[in-house]
Chains A and B, each alone.
Chain A
Amino acid sequence: MSRSNAELQLDEAGRLLHFLTIDGLGKEMLTEILDTAEGFTGVSERTIKKVPLCRGKVVANLFFETSTRTRTTFELAAKRLSADVLNLNISASATSKGETLLDTLRNLEAMHVDMFVVRHASTGAAHFIAQHADRGVGVINAGDGRHAHPTQAMLDMFTIRRHKREFVGLRVAIVGDILHSRVARSQILALNSLGVSEVRVVAPRTLLPADARSLGVHVYHDMDEGIRDVDVIIMLRLQKERMKGALLPSEHEYFSLFGLTERRLALADSEAIVMHPGPINRGVEMDSQVADGSKSVILQQVSYGIAIRMAVISMVIGTQNLRMQDVAV
């Protein structure tokens, strides 16, 4: 898996061709993405919140699954790079008329789209598009099934680095529905690759994958133990639909066992930060006091998400440009 993911995502010189998964990229590339994002942070604070890097490029947001925050920040990121953006809500258009994924892709390529940002309920959708896209067209995975959500993981890494400077020596706890979370999977890969000391997952047995330990994490079923002395607490969103199945008894009971409260937060390191990919279910994953408290960096994650997405969009478009020249030569 690692090797083929590296081959698909990187060119011969190790530059980013597509951004589909953290798997196979390695510490050096992840650090390059974080450093590039650092360069973009100032752009949002200027009079003119745009740089001309991707002028004349067309980025298509291909969302087969609804999402507000991810789509909006991808759109804003592309626009701050001066690219033109097409937002396609596919669930409501072509596929309902029977068009296949490849037909959709070919039609958009005929419109000279330079990049696809793909969100899909099926694992591997972005990989599939990357494998079939024309040369010169980059693909970014904005979430596929339970598999990966690499830009969310990278904005989380960026938030951690901004607050903690170094990854080495950190203890990070990821709390909640690990089983269904593509975010958690990508975060675990990134945290281990960047060299944190310890990644913990804290969850009820019903919300953990059977092979959890093979991901390189320490497993906790007790919240108090799981977050004791950690430097970073990442709370995952509990999808309400899981309640309807037999996986959880009730929101109230989940909160009493795994909800983040001021009392529990006091068990973590005194400088700990609290993260959440959003949207928060207040009173289910965490208390409002914690979500709005001084240790919460949840809204900063949203701002940093724009810088991270600007970084990966510009890196991928830059590498794909080079690829087109190779053809021209």
Chain B
Amino acid sequence: MNSNTKNFMDTEAVESLIDVMAGKIWTLLNERGISDPLTVGIRTGGVWLAELLHQELGLKEPLGTLDISFYRDDFTRIGMNPEVHPSDLPIPVDDRHIVLVDDVLHTGRTIRAALNEIFDYGRPSSIILATLVDRPGRELPIQPDVVGLHPVLEPDQHITLIGPDPLGLVIGTNTNRSSRNLEQE
């Protein structure tokens, strides 16, 4: 994809959003009486965030990671992702409460794929969705429980988390929408 990107938020600003998210997750877990959730990050940005949230919340269960490449709905259009990694859910998900973390919630297709993948590991008790950014453009009925930021964006703009060190948010404009696009936000 050809695009012009500009910095939108620096590390410090992103980290303060993560603090806010941690607080909201903490409140939600307390409201629901959940004490030991399994935190699962979606590759790649979601894993960076999940690591930070996991630390900040002092959760004792190990962190899980999902690579949703095998569950994408656009495999027939774009072929195999050449950079796939194994998913790793280190403990059984049956009857487990899960905090699912991703960087940008856009169309909702990534989350649809992630939910399908999680259910191939077992039947969780509940799933809370936490995303750093909730942007307009939903194509599926999927809503987050915890959000760091709701930016106002044009349809042809995309927002991306860069990192992992330092973290930052950048905004770009698509100049070629038909190109092979591996960002399925």
Binding site for B on A (CB under 8 A): 15, 32, 35-36, 38-43, 46-48, 50-53, 314-315, 318-319, 321-322, 325
Contacts and interface: CB of A to CB of B under 8 A. Distances in A.
A319 B84 contact: no
Residue of A38, A319, A322 most packed against chain B (CB within 10 A): A322
A321 B74 CA distance: 11
B116 to A, nearest CB: 7
B122 A47 contact: yes
A328 to B, nearest CB: 11
B80 A35 contact: no
7 contacts: A39-B67, A318-B78, A319-B79, A321-B75, A321-B76, A322-B79, A325-B76
Given A46-B120, A48-B120, A321-B76, A35 B83 contact: yes
Contacts of B84: 35-36, 38-39
A38 B85 contact: yes
The 5 closest A-B pairs by CB, nearest first: A318-B79, A39-B84, A51-B70, A318-B80, A48-B120
Given A48-B120, A52-B116, A39 B77 contact: no
Interface string B103-124: 0000000000000110111100
Given A36-B80, A46-B120, A314-B80, A53 B75 contact: yes
A54 to B, nearest CB: 8
Contacts of B86: 38-42
B68 to A, nearest CB: 10
Contacts of A319: 79-80
B42 to A, nearest CB: 14
B69 interface: yes
B88 interface: yes
Contacts of A46: 120-121
Nearest to A48: B120
A42 B79 contact: no
Contacts, number: 64
Given A39-B67, A52-B70, A32 B79 contact: no
Contacts of A38: 84-86
B77 A325 contact: yes
Nearest to A38: B86
Contacts of A41: 86
Contacts of B71: 51-53
B44 interface: no
Interface in B44-94: 67, 69-71, 75-80, 82-88, 94
A321 B120 contact: no
A314 B78 CA distance: 12
Contacts of B87: 42
Contacts of A325: 76-77
A302 B67 CA distance: 25
B165 to A, nearest CB: 23
A320 B171 CA distance: 34
Contacts of A43: 70
Contact of A322 (B78, B117, B119): B78
